[in-house]
Structure 1
Amino acid sequence: MTQSNVRQMLVRKLAVAYFTSWAIVLWVSFPNIALGGANWNAAENYMSWAFLIALYAVPAVFLYGILVSSLLEATSVKLKVKGPAEAMVSGLLHVAFGLCFGIVLQSSLFGIMGGGAAILFFSFDRIIVRAILTLKMKTRVISFIAPVLLFVLIAGAIYATAPPKPPFTAKDAVQFATSGSGTTIDRFPKEEGVVKLQIEGYDVERETKVEETAEKETYNVVFTERWSKREESGLYQMIYEVSRGSMGAKGGNGEDPPYLQSR
């Protein structure tokens, strides 16, 4: 192959890898398309899943796919293999090397996806991209933009049909903060308020309180335990900053109550 032919082949392979990557992302993320329904973050979930797919698919297609396909094509040219036999052998070898990708990663799922990606790569290379590169520049540009527009339209349609995002309220913050188990928070009320107890002769108050912060939909959830017995009294407090889906300790003071330390 001449230097010019090598350059043209690499340009074609890059275009093939581009379209193959988009085809894989749109294909594998298709089951996550959810129009309507009750899931307000359906568009975010779809885009996150598509990004995760692209994170694996794009490097594999651009590195492994281009390398294998280029070597197979260069070998065919060197051996002067032409006609239907060349196409059949090349196609089978593309699939075989795609399946080998799963063997390397020791995953049957990646093997199936690798074989499917190889079929797409070979098909784009032999039919679609060769046809696109013969079109006028304007039509060629539109063809390259089409996968991006399709992805945007899908994400936009999901977002438009999803219900509005519900507000994250102080009640939600308390519910989120107390939803776990196996921690000190377990002994406090699951709702904002105070409970009074008698423990080993101590008068005990356990309070769950929520405070708004300057940041929208972010709250401080305060857990306070007070105790007294004759002239003995004390206080133990924990403060957590809670927002939608996240919670972090913000501080606290006091020591564990004596009736817990003795256990």
Structure 2
Amino acid sequence: MTQSDLRQMLVRKLVVSYFTSWVIILWVSFPNIALGGGNWNAAGNYMSWVFIIALYAAPTIFLYGSLVSSLLEVAAAKLKVKGPGEVLVSGLLHVAFGFCYGFVLQSSFFSIMGGVAAILFFSCDRIIVRTILSLKIKTRLISFTAPVLLLILIAGAIHVTSPPMPPFTAKEAVQFATTGNGTTIDRFPKEEGQIKLKIGGYDVERETKIEETDRKETYNVVFTERWQKDEDNGQYQMIYEVSRGSMGAKGGSGEEPPYLQSK
């Protein structure tokens, strides 16, 4: 093979990798398509799956697939293997190396996916890409953008048929604010209300309260701790501004209760 032939082959392998990656991404993500009756964020969930699949599939196909296929084609050219025999042997070797990728990762799933991707890669290289590269530039560009447009169409259809996003309620704001462990908030009620305790001789009242703000679906969640023991009393308060998916400290007042400082 001349240098010109090698360059053309490498360009072809990259194009094959592009289309094979898209076929794998759209095929594997297909079970996650939820049209109608799904969650309000079904489109976002679908795109997340597409991203995860692409993160694994695309680099593997572009690097491993292109390298293996190029080496097999160069070997066939040097051995001067042509005709139906070359197609059969090359196809079987593509599949074998595809399965071997899963053996390297010690995963039967990746072996199966590697074999399927190898079949697609080989078929795409022999039929589709050779046809596409012979087309006019405009038609070629349409072919390259088709997978992207198809993905946008699928995601758009999922979004349109999904129910509207529900409002972010005060109850959800409290649940979001009290989620997690290892913080001062842990000792307060997980829902709006009060609890009364006896700690170190102190009468303790801990309260979780929700306050609406002038911004839509944004709340102030107020955590207040009051204590009293004879003449010793006080109050400690923390305020957090909570909206969908975010939370930030807005202020507070008082000092830590004495029965906690002594621990």
Which TM class, normalised by the smaller chain length?
Answer: 0.7 to 0.9
Identify if the C-alpha distance between structure 1 residues 261 and 97 changes in structure 2 by more than 3 Å, giving closer, same or farther.
same
Q: TM-score, normalised by structure 2?
A: 0.88
Structure 1 residues without counterparts, runs of 5 or longer: none
Contact in 1 for aligned 2:227/2:257 (Cα 8 Å): no
Identify if the C-alpha distance between structure 1 residues 214 and 94 changes in structure 2 by more than 3 Å, giving closer, same or farther.
farther
Q: 1:115 & 1:136 partners in 2: Cα distance? A: 32
Q: Which residue of 2 aligns with 1:100?
A: 100
SS at match of 2:203: strand
Q: 1:111 & 1:248 partners in 2: Cα distance? A: 46
Q: Which residue of 2 aligns with 1:58?
A: 58
Q: For this pair of structures, how many residues does the alignment match?
A: 262
Q: Which residue of 1 aligns with 2:127?
A: 127
Q: 2:6 & 2:113 partners in 1: Cα distance? A: 28
Structure 2 residues without counterparts, runs of 5 or longer: none
How far has the Cα of 1:129 moved from its partner? 1.0
SS at match of 1:208: strand
SS at match of 2:227: strand
Q: Which residue of 2 aligns with 1:162?
A: 162
SS at match of 2:81: coil
Contact in 2 for aligned 1:236/1:257 (Cα 8 Å): no
Q: Which residue of 1 aligns with 2:46?
A: 46
Structure 1 vs Structure 2 CA RMSD? 2.5
Q: Which residue of 1 aligns with 2:255?
A: 254
How far has the Cα of 1:123 moved from its partner? 0.7
How far has the Cα of 1:181 moved from its partner? 6.5
Q: 2:36 & 2:112 partners in 1: Cα distance? A: 31
Contact in 1 for aligned 2:37/2:162 (Cα 8 Å): yes
Identify if the C-alpha distance between structure 1 residues 213 and 116 changes in structure 2 by more than 3 Å, giving closer, same or farther.
farther
Identify if the C-alpha distance between structure 1 residues 137 and 158 changes in structure 2 by more than 3 Å, giving closer, same or farther.
same
1:97-246 equivalences under 5 Å are 97-180=97-180, 185-197=185-197, 202-212=202-212, 217-246=217-246
The one-letter amino acid paired with 2:255 is G
Contact in 2 for aligned 1:234/1:257 (Cα 8 Å): no
Contact in 2 for aligned 1:15/1:129 (Cα 8 Å): yes
The one-letter amino acid paired with 2:45 is N
Q: Name whichever of 129-138 and 235-244 sits farther off.
A: 235-244
The one-letter amino acid paired with 1:87 is V
The one-letter amino acid paired with 1:225 is E
Any idea what the Cα deviations from partners look like across 1:12-37, whole Å, max 9, x if unmatched? Answer: 11111110010011011111101111
